[in-house]
């Protein structure tokens, strides 16, 4: 059993200023309403809570706007996240949370690829392979304990 947290003292960053969707002038353009861009995808995932600490993935700089690469014409999104420590055993949980949030938020035509930032994790290839094996993800999401953990990370915190 793990006695302590993986990362006892995470660095917490300020949250980036958010775009107010209601007053943003770019939203008045008919065409842009339907195209999904980098900020919109980031907005879906920035508030996902870290499984171990009471902070969001944005606050821990696990995710930034640049984590997201979108090609709406190809219905493709790739998210690259940076675990706080190299041996983070929570990497697959974090990746799974990001995938689930995007699956629930983006149109079903979207292809989603998740990976850890190159060089930031000891077993990078193994983590990436698991996160992108659709059958493994499907089986994992039939595990009630895992789903409970994911839902907890995805649930909004009220501040």
Partner 1 sequence: MDLMEKNLELLEVQKLEGHTDRVWNVSWNPVSSHAHGTLPILASCSGDNTVRIWEQSSLSRSWTCKTVLEETHTRTVRSCAWSPSGKLLATASFDGTTAIWEDLGDEFDCISTLEGHENEVKSVSWNAAGSYLATCSRDKSVWIWEVLGGNEFDCAAVLNGHTQDVKMVQWHPTMDVLFSCSYDNTIKVWWSEDDDGDFQCVQTLDESSNGHSSTVWAISFNATGDKMVTCSDDLTLKIWMADISMMHSGEGYAPWTHLCTLSGYHDRTIFSTHWSSDDIIASGAGDDAIRLFVDSKHDSANGPSYNLLLKKEKAHEMDINSVQWSPSKENRLLASASDDGMVKIWQLETKL
Structure tokens at 105: 């938020």
Task: Among 104, 109, 119, 159, indicate the residue that binds partner 1 (CB under 8 A).
Answer: 109
Which of 40, 113 has the CB closer to partner 1? 113
104 lies in the binding site for partner 1 (CB under 8 A) = no
Task: Among 15, 18, 87, 111, indicate the residue that binds partner 1 (CB under 8 A).
Answer: 111
Structure tokens at 113: 């690829």
List, in sequence order, the alpha helices (H) in the chain: 30-34, 38-45, 91-105, 124-131, 134-140, 144-154
SS3 80: strand
- Counted residue by residue, the chain has a size of 159
Sheet holding 76-81, edge to edge: 68-71, 76-81, 111-116
**In the complex, least distance from residue 27 CB atom to partner 1, rounded to whole angstroms:** 27
139 lies in the binding site for partner 1 (CB under 8 A) = yes
Task: Among 34, 135, 144, 156, indicate the residue that binds partner 1 (CB under 8 A).
Answer: 135
What span, in angstroms and rounded, lies between the C-alpha atoms of 60 and 157?
15
Structure tokens at 74: 């190809």
Structure tokens at 17: 């200023």
Which of 6, 110 has the CB closer to partner 1? 110
138 lies in the binding site for partner 1 (CB under 8 A) = yes
142 lies in the binding site for partner 1 (CB under 8 A) = yes
The region of 10-18, 43-51, 107-115, 148-156 touching partner 1 under the rule CB under 8 A is: 107-115
Size, binding site for partner 1 by CB under 8 A: 11
Q: Which residues bind partner 1 (CB under 8 A)?
A: 108-109, 111, 129, 133-136, 138-139, 142
């Amino acid at each position: 059993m793990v006695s302590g947290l993986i990362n006892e003292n995470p660095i917490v960053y300020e949250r980036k200023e958010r775009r107010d969707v209601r007053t943003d002038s770019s939203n008045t353009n008919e065409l842009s309403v339907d195209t999904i861009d980098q900020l919109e995808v980031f907005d879906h995932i920035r508030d996902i809570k870290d499984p171990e600490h009471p902070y969001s993935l944005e606050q821990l700089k696990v995710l930034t706007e640049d984590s997201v690469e979108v090609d709406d014409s190809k219905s493709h999104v790739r998210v690259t996240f940076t675990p706080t420590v190299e041996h983070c055993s929570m990497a697959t949980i974090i990746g799974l949370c990001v995938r689930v949030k995007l699956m629930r938020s983006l149109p079903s035509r979207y292809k989603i690829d998740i990976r850890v930032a190159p060089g930031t994790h000891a077993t990078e290839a193994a983590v990436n392979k698991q996160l992108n094996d659709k059958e493994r993800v499907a089986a994992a999401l039939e595990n009630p304990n895992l789903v409970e953990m994911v839902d907890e990370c995805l649930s909004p915190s009220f501040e």
